[in-house]
């Protein structure tokens, strides 16, 4: 396991607070790698697994280190309101989770997202799980300070959206709304599955095992 110490007064929130605050995409460019990566993690591998290779994210440890250092420096400016990594489902996850956590909404324009492949659809951009990327919400008017920090470390930093007050996450593709959903619909309102559990017989037998009795039998 990894163990670390955290200064509680320096913990960064993953909430998109402040209507009108700019939403900044930072880190590596988005590619087609990792699309459906989260679902791939639960798929049973078989003869057709080779066709699922694009589901696997292509990581870059050096870029990751740059992103860590740039993020820490950006947080030290005091201009960051909220920040979250783009994990499973990429931009879809980070936009919905940060806005839902703050009780706000968000609008983003996918054509402002840095891309590694020019032919990506809005669907692919929103679901890509390319590594070394973060979604940062900055205090309005301080976005250039944040952008300069990430540029200094050789990373992308682009304002792709804004925090709104209607609870909806709206995705634009060249100005056209291509998706609109309440952020909480993909977070707090998701269906929860409660699976039936039963203790295996062998566990009950092990717990009922009398070690002292066994030792007496052996010694006798």
Looking at residue 13, its pLDDT comes to 93
At residue 34, the pLDDT reads 76
Say if 215 falls within a structural domain: no
pTM score: 0.80
Q: Is residue 194 part of a domain?
A: no
Residue 92: domain span: 11-186
Give residue 42's pLDDT.
Answer: 57
Asked if residue 206 belongs to a domain, the reply is: no
Q: Is residue 193 part of a domain?
A: no
Query: Phi/psi at 58 (nearest 5 deg)?
Result: -100, 105
Q: Is residue 125 part of a domain?
A: yes
* Axis-axis angle for helices 61-76, 143-152 (nearest 10): 140
- Structure confidence at residue 59 (pLDDT): 76
Does residue 216 form part of some domain? no
- The reported pLDDT for the residue numbered 45 is 57
Residues of the chain with pLDDT under 70: 36-57, 217-220
In-domain check, residue 71: yes
| Nearest-5° Cα angle at 159, 34 to 172 | 65
Confidence (pLDDT) at 72: 95
Number of domains forming the structure of the chain: 1
pLDDT score recorded for residue 215? 78
Q: What CATH number does the domain containing 38 carry?
A: 3.90.650.10
Read off the pLDDT of residues 115-174 as tens digits, 9 standing for 90 and up. Answer: 999 899 999 999 999 999 999 999 999 999 999 999 999 999 999 999 999 999 999 999
Q: Give the model's pLDDT for residue 147.
A: 98
């Amino acid at each position: 396991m990894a163990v670390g110490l955290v200064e509680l007064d320096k913990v960064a929130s993953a909430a998109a607070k402040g209507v009108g605050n700019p939403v900044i995409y930072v880190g590596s460019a988005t590619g087609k790698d990792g699309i459906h990566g989260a679902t791939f993690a639960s798929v049973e591998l078989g003869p057709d697994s080779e066709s699922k290779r694009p589901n696997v994210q292509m990581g870059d440890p050096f870029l990751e280190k740059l992103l860590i250092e740039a993020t820490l420096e950006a947080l030290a400016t005091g201009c960051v309101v909220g920040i979250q990594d783009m994990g499973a489902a990429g931009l879809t996850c980070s936009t919905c989770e940060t806005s839902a956590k703050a009780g706000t909404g968000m609008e983003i324009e996918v054509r402002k997202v840095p891309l590694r492949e020019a032919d990506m659809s809005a669907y692919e951009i929103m679901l890509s799980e390319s590594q070394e990327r973060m979604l940062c919400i900055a205090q309005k008017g301080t976005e250039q300070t944040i952008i300069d920090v990430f540029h200094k470390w050789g990373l992308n930093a682009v304002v792709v959206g804004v925090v709104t007050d209607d609870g909806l996450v709206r995705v634009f593709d060249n100005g056209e709304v291509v998706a609109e959903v309440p952020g909480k619909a993909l977070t707090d309102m998701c269906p929860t599955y409660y699976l039936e559990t039963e203790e295996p017989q062998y566990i009950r037998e092990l717990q009922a095992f009398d070690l002292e009795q066994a030792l007496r039998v052996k010694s006798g």
